[in-house]
Amino acid sequence: MSGTSTSSKPWNDRRIAFVGGLHRSGTTLVARILGSSPNASGLTGTGAAMNEGQHIQDTYVGSLGNTSQWSFHPRAHLTEKDAKSTPDAGARLWQSWSPYWDLERAVLVEKSPPNLTKMRYLQEVFPRSRFIVVTRHPVVQALAVRKWATHTRGRYTYGFPRLIEHWVHAHDVFAEDALHIENLLVLRYEHLMREPAQQLGRVAQFLDVELDRSTVDALDAGRSNRYAELWRTGGRGQLGGRVRTHLTHIGSRTGPSRGDLLRDFADVALLPRYRNVVSEHLGDRIRAHGYDLDVLDQAAPWAPAQLGPTASAR
């Protein structure tokens, strides 16, 4: 992998855990829980957004484009071939990340959403590494991105089917790559919310770390409910109350903003149509990944055989 001797590669004696998954899928939550372990250290004090390792290195390209397009970029998917073409990748990444880890800890955690499509590359560079991928229902993830996005990047349901298509494509890539990964744990966000103690127990066993039990109590099991209601009603259930609240608070700084109100009107007009489009064009592929467009708070247990025809034909 490089001309450097094995003994001079400090990362070979370390257990690095890479956390990946699309934005708003729960990767930050999982990384924060891991970072609170007395046995693990996340990147801290980097000055970068969410302390993501992708932002503080120049060895590979992180996410290219916004949250509805980055995985489509040709350079978003990295494999062993890319790692072998950069012989000093390990040394460069270690130099970038190690100052922000507590190197006395047994497990070093790096969280970046694009790790979802870079596992094979990272495994080649750091052979002892482990991977935790967090998946969340594509509709809920897209609605969460839209709520978090700027006005020009999907806030008024503009590009909503593209967000779903992006989810499917990114997880198709992940499904293929998963067949090449030696140490992989997939967490369903839905399962983590429903049975946090059991799911965090899986994480603790996978990484051989202790996790603070108080983190279980901090999880909000109902945080996706509003998205499920929005998807079910097409926004009609929320619109009347929003309008009344807005009219009551005109001229004040409380209540929903005009932008939020416009988004609610857009939901009523567009979400039902987008739901039909997504179901017709992407429904089968979403079901292949273990999700149902009519049930947003559940997910099938993850298994490679469920990830589509290319994965099952190995």
Q: Output the pLDDT for position 156.
A: 47
CA distance 212 to 288: 34
Q: Output the pLDDT for position 29.
A: 94
CA distance 125 to 278: 38
HSE-CB at 245 with a 13 A cutoff on CA atoms is 14
Check residues 65 and 15 and name the one with the higher pLDDT.
15
Would 61 be classed as within a structural domain? yes
Q: Which residues pair with 131 in a beta bridge?
A: 18, 184
What's the domain count of the chain?
Answer: 1
Helix (H, G, I), strand (E, B) or coil at 1: coil
State pLDDT tens for residues 88-132: 999 999 999 999 999 999 999 999 999 999 999 999 999 999 999
| CATH number of the structural domain spanning residue 122 | 3.40.50.300
Q: Output the pLDDT for position 314.
A: 28
**Residue 128 CA: distances (Å) to CA of 11, 105, 113, 123, 273:** 9, 15, 20, 7, 47
Q: Output the pLDDT for position 254.
A: 54
**Residue 259 CA: distances (Å) to CA of 15, 156, 192, 238, 256:** 46, 9, 32, 15, 8
The mean pLDDT value for 36-53 works out to 96
CA 20 to chain centre: 5
Would 112 be classed as within a structural domain? yes
CA distance 147 to 263: 9
Q: Output the pLDDT for position 1.
A: 41
Domain of residue 195, residue span? 10-217
pLDDT band per the 50, 70, 90 thresholds, residue 243: very low
pLDDT band per the 50, 70, 90 thresholds, residue 62: confident
pLDDT band per the 50, 70, 90 thresholds, residue 159: confident
Check residues 239 and 190 and name the one with the higher pLDDT.
190
Q: Output the pLDDT for position 260.
A: 64
Would 245 be classed as within a structural domain? no
Task: Look up residue 37 and give its two tokens.
Answer: 């372990």
The DSSP 8-state label assigned to residue 35 in this structure reads H
CA distance 270 to 230: 12
State pLDDT tens for residues 249-265: 555 555 556 666 666 66
Q: Output the pLDDT for position 89.
A: 97
Supply the pTM of this predicted model.
0.85
Cα–Cα nearest to 84, from 126, 128, 124, 54: 124
CA distance 168 to 185: 19
Would 260 be classed as within a structural domain? no
Lowest mean pLDDT among 149-158, 185-194, 200-209, 219-228: 149-158
